[in-house]
Amino acid sequence: MFPKNARVYKITESIFNDSLFESIGQFVFTPCTSQEAIKTGFAEPVPYSSNLAAHADGYVLLAMKTQEKVLPPAVIAEELAPKIAETQQEKGRPLSRKEKQVLKEELIQTLLPRAFVKSKVVNAFYCIKTQYLVVGTNSASVAETFLGLLRKALVSLPALPAFDNHQLNQQLHFWTQGKNLPEGFALGAAVEFVAPDEEGAKAKFDHHLISADEVQSHLQDKLVKRLELEQEGKISFVVKDDGSLSKIKYSSILTNQNEELGWDDVQARVEADAILGCTTLINAIEAINKNIGVNDGR
């Protein structure tokens, strides 16, 4: 329950109410049937619990499970080729692109029952106090899928990206210079630049001193694409120019705080770790937004 990636949203109306747990129960995950290619629904965020939402000390823990049938393109192509050839021979002419696509879709339906199944769980949490919703992914499409699922359950979900991208991009430039960093944070050792022209030349540094002249010189003609920040003894992560957080790492000092609890009670341990991880990440998010300004949609 220590998120490794995050897309953060500001919910402008509280979504925590008595009907929340009942509402998401209408969209519980069920496996794909033989003819379904993909299924998505809410799953239990805490192992060995039947609850689709867990309330833990000011946080609502959620999880989305997606199951997808996997058909390798090479398999489809191998099965499709003879069908196209046979149909062309029957019709006495080459098939149009549309006709080939119809054959392909029909073939996929026949292959689905034999396809491999791939499942993935994305965890998320909602902070009741700050009204931040954190989805544990750096993929915009996955986050949108989660928001869409939650929106179906709640009917309405007024959500904005937590960080104002214009202000964030400006601050990334200053932060890279070591200026006006979020309170309690220092520069990490990773940064990536990209030129704003058509060529989009890039310069990437990992495990490098960001204050070095060879790094700083790229600020003259490039924008900051991503930058690592760290808070000693707590957390480090890479802030990207699209507002996502990736490569989130928690210090061993932090992650070891609950070791005395052990794992005899799995649910209690998971919830304790979740509270610790969520609180640390929310504090970091608030530090960033105090620095750049909260996205209020204006």
The mean pLDDT of 58-81, rounded to a whole number, is 91
pLDDT at 294: 45
Inter-residue contact 244 to 257 (CB < 8 Å): no
Pick from 154, 126, 167, 166: nearest CA to 10: 126
pLDDT at 1: 67
CA distances from 248 to 30, 137, 230, 234 (A): 31, 11, 10, 11
Q: Give tens-digit pLDDT for 91-139.
A: 999 999 999 999 998 998 888 888 888 999 999 999 999 999 999 999 9
Q: What is the mean pLDDT of residues 211-237?
A: 94
Q: Reduced to 3 states, what is the DSSP secondary structure of residue 188?
A: strand
Tens-digit pLDDT profile for residues 135-184? 999 999 999 999 999 999 988 888 999 998 889 999 999 999 999 899 99
> Phi and psi dihedrals of 74, rounded to 5?
-65, -35
Residue 34 has a CB neighbour count (10 Å cut-off) of 10
pLDDT tens-digit map of 6-61: 999 999 887 777 677 888 889 999 998 888 889 999 999 987 777 888 888 889 99
Average pLDDT over residues 175-199: 93
Residue 49 is predicted with a pLDDT of 76
3-state class percentages of the chain: helix first, strand second, coil last, to nearest 5: 40, 30, 35
Confidence band of 293 (pLDDT split at 50, 70, 90): low
Residue 297: the pLDDT is 42
Choose among 37, 55, 33, 57: nearest CA to 46.
Answer: 55
- C-alpha span between 229 and 101 (Å, rounded): 48
User: Radius of gyration (Cα) for the chain, nearest Å?
Assistant: 24
Question: CA of 50: how far to CAs of 15, 17, 21, 155, 237, in Å?
Answer: 21, 19, 12, 23, 32
The secondary structure of residue 23, as a DSSP letter, is: H
Q: Are 205 and 215 in contact (CB under 8 A)?
A: yes
For the whole model, what pTM was predicted?
Answer: 0.83
Count the neighbouring beta carbons within 10 Å of the beta carbon of residue 15.
20
159 touches 133 (CB < 8 A)? yes
Q: In 75-163, at which residue ranges do the beta strands (DSSP E only) sit?
A: 116-127, 132-135, 159-161
Cα–Cα separations (whole angstroms), residue 198 to 195, 201, 202, 203:
8, 9, 12, 15
Interatomic CA distance for residues 175 and 229, integer angstroms? 9
Q: Is the model more confident about 295 or about 256? A: 256
Q: Which value, to the nearest 10 degrees, does the dihedral of the CA atoms of residues 220, 221, 225, 226 take?
A: -20
Bridge partners of 125, per DSSP, are: 61, 134
Cα distance between residue 218 and residue 220, in whole Å: 5
Nearest Cα to 46, choosing from 274, 280, 279? Answer: 274
Who wins on pLDDT, 71 or 80? Answer: 80
